[in-house]
Structures are given as C-alpha cells and as structure tokens.
Amino acid sequence: MIVNLTPTEEQQLVEDSIRGLLAGKLPVDRLRESHSHGGAAERAIWNDLAELGLFGLGLAEERGGIGYGLPEEVIVAKALGAHLASPSIIAQMIAVHLADDATRPALMSGEARAAFVNAFDGGAHLIDGEGATHAVVVGQGGVALVAIDTLGTAEPVELIDETVAVAKVSTSASLSGGAEAERLSLLLATYMAGLAGATRDMAVEYAQTREQFGQPIGAFQAIKHQCADLALRAAGAETQCYHTAVTFGRGNDDGVEVACARLLAGEAALANAKQNIQIHGGMGFTAECDAHLFLKRSHLISMLGTSKAEVRKRILA
C-alpha cells in the first residue's frame, strides 16, 4: 500500500469551497459578539452548508450521499475547527451516517438538524441544541442518533466555553462503537487539529508584526522556537488525522490509528492554545483577543465522547 497525502485536485476544490464559505460567513471574530454564540451564526447558513454537500459528503452515492470518503470529510472538519464552528455541524455530518433511510433525507437537506449530547458519568450536556430535531449522543460506549424529544428537560448551564450554548439533559440512549464511532472520533480529532493549526497561524502572524526592542518578536529565538513547536505539533496531529482517513479500512488497525490521532490532536490543540496566549502577552490574556476562544474550545472538544483514559487504553490494546 502506498499512501499519497498530497490533496487531489478534487480535494483541493472541497477545501477551497468550504474555506471560502467559512471565511465569508464564519470569521472567528464573529464570536466577539454574543449574538453569534450558541451556533446562531451557523444556523443562519445551515442551508448553504447543506447545498455545499457537507451533510452526506462521505456517504456512498447509493445511500443518497455525495460519494466522497473520509479524506474529504476530515478536510472539512479541519476547516471547521480553524473557524471555531459550532460542533453541531460535525454532529450533522455524522448523523447522516447513523440515520435510517426514513430520517436521512431530511438531515441531508438540512431540514432536520442535529446537535451533540455529551453523555458522561453523572449527566449529559446538549451543545448548541437550539432548533435541533435530533441528538448525536456520544460517550464511552460510542455513539447513537436519537430524536431530540427523547432527552429529558433541558436546564441551561454555562461551561468554560461561553461561545457555545449548553443545557443539562438526560438520556438513556444505548451507544454503540464500530466504524461510525471511529469516524466521529476522527472528525473530532481533525477539528482539534484545525484548532492547533489556527493558533499556530495566529501566533506566527503576531510574532511577525508585534515589535519590541526595535524588531518583530518573531526574530527572537525564544519566540521563533515556540512557533516551530506550534508547527511541529499541528503538523503531527494533522498528518496523523489525514493518514488515518486515507488508510481507513485498508488493513491498518483503524482503532489504534484513530486513538493516536485523537490523543495527539487533543494535546496539540490544548498546548498550542496555551502557547498562543503566551506569545500574545498581555493581549493574549484579554477577552477581546481571540486567543482564549481556542483554549476554551480545545477543552470542550477534547472532552467530547471518548475519555483520554479510554483513548490511551485503545492505543495500547
């Protein structure tokens, strides 16, 4: 098996179109205004996302999908991470794979909408659930798609990441592992690789322009070498996600590969977010600089579904 990780022309097109849409409609600085929080900005372009083919991108044509695969889906997931897009978009991408024939068309067209429920020991969080008709429940056992009205009463709660709207709910959905659970885990990993790449770019841009002692701070090795570390972590996480996507189902131990991607991307997202804040100095500590948003989102997504302890167990299985 020979793997080529350079994007094909078609994959480049997929990337260009999603990036074009996100740059215009979901710039990161939208989150400075609270009316864009909770997935509001995403709901406003839900039809555009459906028209772009996001919901069903990696679904086989005979099941009504676009007929691409995991590589194209991870390209999208990474772009979503870089823009701090609502996790609900990933939930919807997964929902079409989980749905039965009766439900799938409405999810693909965007008429029905999905949101994540993170089920953990002692509770469950519904994330950006406004207007959702379905919940993609994730937890230790895997994943399940359920109707939103199966969840108990929603009670709003504020998490570390104030840019998402969260409600405490209850669920008795029975979760299952398998290929779709792995797909979800890989998409979340790649979303986090997108976070790591965005903070690398943010730190580098700041290091190029911020001047102290009469020169850009990026000329100093103390900063330059930190930026190199940001690049190293982002590259490791991203290429592991891409490699896993391309080789999925081709004889590697997919469970181990996905778990490696998940662990690396989670650590890269968090470490890069912290270092980006540090490189931004005083500005990095303020609410008006976007650096803190990446830190908060890294914590949120790395806790979604499979726990770190479980991820490690799978790697060593």
Chain positions contacting another protein, by CB under 8 A: 1-8, 11, 71, 200, 204, 207-208, 215-216, 218-221, 223-225, 227-229, 231-232, 235-237, 239-240, 242-247, 250, 256-257, 259-261, 263-264, 267, 309, 311-313, 315-316
Partnered with residue 137 across adjacent β-strands are 117, 144
Q: How far is CA 34 from CA 51, 113, 125, 220, 254, in A?
A: 27, 22, 20, 37, 40
To the nearest whole angstrom, how small is the minimum distance from the Cβ of residue 3 to another protein? 5
Residue 126 CB partners (closer than 8 Å, separation 6+): 115, 116, 117, 132, 135, 151, 154, 166, 167, 168, 169
Residue 47 vs 313, nearer CB to another protein: 313
Least distance between another protein and beta carbon 52 (Å): 19
> Based on CB atoms, which residue is closest to another protein, 244 or 302?
244
Least distance between another protein and beta carbon 219 (Å): 4
Contact 210, 237 (CB under 8 A): no
Minimum Å gap between C-beta 287 and another protein is 27
Reduced to 3 states (helix: H, G, I; strand: E, B; else coil), residue 147 is strand
Beta strands in 191-242 (DSSP E): 211-212, 215-216
C-beta of 85 vs 263, nearer to another protein: 263
- 57-60 long-range Cβ contacts below 8 angstroms, 24+ apart: 57/14, 57/93, 58/93, 58/97, 58/183, 59/96, 59/97, 59/108
Report, in Å, the least distance between residue 185 CB and another protein.
Answer: 13
Closest approach of another protein to the CB of residue 66, in Å: 16
Least separation in angstroms between residue 271's CB and another protein is 12
- In the complex, minimum distance from the CB of residue 146 to another protein, in angstroms, rounded to a whole number: 31
Measured on CA atoms in the order 292, 136, 65, 113, is the torsion positive or negative?
negative
């029975």: which residue's tokens?
A: 174
Which of 14/145 has CB closer to another protein? 14
Residue 156 or residue 251: which is nearer to another protein going by CB? 251
Nearer to another protein, 35 or 250 (CB): 250
131: nearest Cα among 146, 113, 147:
113
Q: Could you give the C-alpha distances from 173 to 59, 68, 92, 114, 152, in angstroms and in order?
A: 24, 29, 17, 15, 12
Nearer to another protein, 5 or 44 (CB): 5
